[in-house]
Amino acid sequence: MPIDDDRLAAEYKGLLGPIKFRLFSLVSMPAARFAGLRLDRLDNETCVTSIPGGWRSQNPFKTMYWAVQGMGAELATGAPPFAMSRSMPERLRMFVVGTEATFVKRAKGRITFTCDEVSASREAIERSRDSGESVDCDLSSVGRDSSGDVVSEWVFKWNFLVMEKR
């Protein structure tokens, strides 16, 4: 059965709600909650997350720690398929099987991560549902500082497997 677009829109709206996202991140991603990770936009085309600079996310060199950037970048690629998993009758197993990162500039202040490949994750999930096999999907996320300069570029290789109904 395909992904239910009405349920998907409701999942997007729910994850964007500040209270629900705070509770979700506190329970499921406490380190991200501590660092101040935020979900700013989530729809069928784009997912945008952001994370503030400051003492909770900095390294000894007073810039943002690379792993904190990774949390923001991963959520930008992982939130859309997570929402899709909650809007379909089947179960979805999803996990990261590889990652690459390029650091272009020192990350200071609020860093915003954007993934414009939401449709690619949906296509991979639908291929897995149709074939019964796991499907790998490369999703990229670009981190920018407040002036719009690229600070890091990430590629996450996600593995999706649609399994039996719940």
**pLDDT-derived band at 49, boundaries 50, 70, 90:** very high
Instruction: Look up residue 98 and give its DSSP letter.
Output: E
Give the rounded distance of the alpha carbon of 163 from its chain centre: 21
| Structure tokens that stand for 80 in this block | 């859309």
Cα dist from 157 to 117, 123, 138, whole Å: 12, 14, 4
Residue 58 pLDDT = 85
Residues in contact with 17: Cβ distance below 8 Å, sequence separation at least 6, in sequence order: none
Tokens of 62: 């007073």
Q: Which CATH number does the domain 5-165 belong to among 3.40.50.720, 3.40.50.970, 3.40.50.410, 3.10.129.10?
A: 3.10.129.10
pTM for the model stands at 0.92
pLDDT score recorded for residue 3:
84
**Domain definitions of the chain by residue range:** 5-165
The four Cα atoms 147, 19, 45, 129 give a dihedral, to 10 degrees, of: 140
Cα gap 28→21, rounded to integer Å: 10
pLDDT tens figures, 130-155: 999 999 999 999 999 999 999 999 99
What is the per-residue pLDDT across 56-107, written as a single tens digit (0 to 9) for each?
888 888 889 899 999 999 999 999 999 999 899 999 999 999 999 999 999 9
At 82, list the tokens.
Answer: 């997570």
Band (pLDDT 50/70/90 cuts) for residue 1 is low
Strand-pair category, 90-103 with 47-51: unpaired
